[in-house]
Amino acid sequence: MKPISAITASDLKQLRYILHDIDDTITNDGKLLPESYAALWELSRAGFKVIPVTGRPAGWCDMILRQWPVDAVIGENGAFVDYFEGDTKKRFFHPAVPKERLSEKLNEIKEACLKEVPGCRVSKDQSYRICDLAIDFNEDVHLGLEAAEEIRAIAERFGAVAKVSSIHVNIWFGDYTKVGMAELFLRQQLGEDRLEDKVLFFGDSPNDEPMFARFPLTVGVANIRPFAESLSHLPAFVTEGEGGFGFAEAAKLLTRLKKG
């Protein structure tokens, strides 16, 4: 990981899309800082298309798309993208999302997690989800990574996909991912190619690793450092600040280099 100050104007020549994780990438201790929100506006006003890529629920994505300076939102770990076509709000589902979404099976997994992992709970944003089950281990409860791994193992026992974020274990059926959806949306819906030169991604944790692996232009905020040894794909650049402070620091640099 090189310091973000090492990024050059020539790295950014074709850059059009800023994709970014939300939790602990643009937030600090669960809050969206004024610095991060201003950075989103700076990037958008500089002409970048800004697309949050998150495990957060459909209900949040609807609000984010309507109120934040963003062009689309990839939600529930790649299950769908919310975006506007003219004045019309659209939701594009990944073709691998099963028809019967929050199925019986997810219910069985929920019961098993609650029974087998003491202290875990269904996330408080579960009511606003349409495709996945989120079990909280580190948002309103504080159980540590061992519990997250137990939850993940239970989900996998039922044949589900499970990803550990910094706060929840997200559990779903269907062969879709954040990176798969990013690629599908940019190629199919927006007609883009050569994504390698056009996309820059910001993340903070191991669940962002597939994005770090897929795109050459990637930035980790400083709080990724403790995970560095466990990652086989590191971001290309790292910020000095943590969370939203790091995001804001990098956004300033990107807009300055774009303006030349």
Would you tell me which residues interact with Mg ion (CB under 5 A)?
21, 23-24, 166, 204-205
Question: Which residue lies nearer to Mg ion by CB, 192 or 211?
Answer: 211
> Residue 37 burial by CB count (10 A; 0-12/13-18/19+): exposed, middle or buried?
middle
Question: Which residue lies nearer to Mg ion by CB, 82 or 204?
Answer: 204
Which of 21, 20, 24 is closest to 167 using CA atoms?
24
- Smallest gap, in angstroms, from Cβ of residue 84 to Mg ion? 25
- Smallest gap, in angstroms, from Cβ of residue 97 to Mg ion? 22
Question: Which residue lies nearer to Mg ion by CB, 24 or 132?
Answer: 24
Question: Which residue lies nearer to Mg ion by CB, 205 or 239?
Answer: 205
- Smallest gap, in angstroms, from Cβ of residue 248 to Mg ion? 16
Residue 5 CB-half CA count within 13 A: 2
- Smallest gap, in angstroms, from Cβ of residue 213 to Mg ion? 16
Q: What are phi and psi of 12, to 5 degrees?
A: -105, 10
- Smallest gap, in angstroms, from Cβ of residue 161 to Mg ion? 17
Helix (H) or strand (E) holding 149: helix 145-157
- Smallest gap, in angstroms, from Cβ of residue 172 to Mg ion? 17
Tell me the C-alpha distance between 115 and 106, whole Å.
14
Residue position matching structure tokens 């990724």: 224
Question: Which residue lies nearer to Mg ion by CB, 53 or 88?
Answer: 53
How far is CA 147 from each of CA 46, 48, 73, 167, 235, rounded to the nearest angstrom?
42, 39, 29, 11, 27
Question: Which residue lies nearer to Mg ion by CB, 32 or 46?
Answer: 32
CB atoms within 10 A of CB 136: 22
Residue 216 CB-half CA count within 13 A: 10
Tell me the C-alpha distance between 143 and 133, whole Å.
18
